Amino acid sequence: MKKSKNNANTTGTIALNKKARHDYHLEEKFEAGLSLQGWELKSIRAGKVNITDNYVILQNGEAYLVGSRITPLNQASTHVICEPERARKLLLNKRELDKLIGARDRQGYSIVATAMYWKKCWVKLEIYLAKGKQSHDKRDAIKDRDWARQKERMMKKTA
């Protein structure tokens, strides 16, 4: 078995959207493939991707990732016209698409991308059906997290 030359990212995670857990109640998880161009894949391997301010739109029975930024590499993009923030098609099966469309239209859910990672040789995107949090919900979550941290410290001191 061949060893990879670049072991910089051994976990398989390419990019995370930590802000999503703060801004949304994440409910149901989906895994989607991404339709990428060659220069995008080279940039992703180099770690030049940002999925912080993105969202998923559904139109014509298809899902697209909008707002993610894949910065082109200089050596990979000499002969290709690169669009760093283009809409990228998400590869989902029909049942998953129908479920996403129904939840968005009937129940008012948002669709949020939380992580991009490698699965074997494919780039996958973790998306969630999510409800937006209001400011008081965010404050409650922060208080709960702080209280859990304090409890751990107290338990550690007594043990």
Cα–Cα distances in angstroms (integers) from residue 130 to residues 35, 82, 103, in the given order: 23, 31, 10
142 domain residue, yes or no: no
7 domain residue, yes or no: no
155 domain residue, yes or no: no
Burial class of residue 65, CB neighbours in 10 A (0-12, 13-18, 19+): buried
43 domain residue, yes or no: yes
Q: What is the number of domains present in the chain? A: 1
pLDDT band at 92, cuts 50/70/90? very high
138 domain residue, yes or no: no
CATH number at residue 50: 2.40.280.10
pLDDT digits (tens, 9 = 90+) for 16-49: 888 877 788 888 899 999 998 888 888 888 888 8
pLDDT digits (tens, 9 = 90+) for 108-159: 788 888 999 998 889 999 999 888 777 766 687 778 888 888 888 888 888 7
Give pLDDT, residue 76: 60
The domain of 75 spans: 13-133
91 domain residue, yes or no: yes
144 domain residue, yes or no: no
4 domain residue, yes or no: no
Contact 99, 32 (CB under 8 A): no
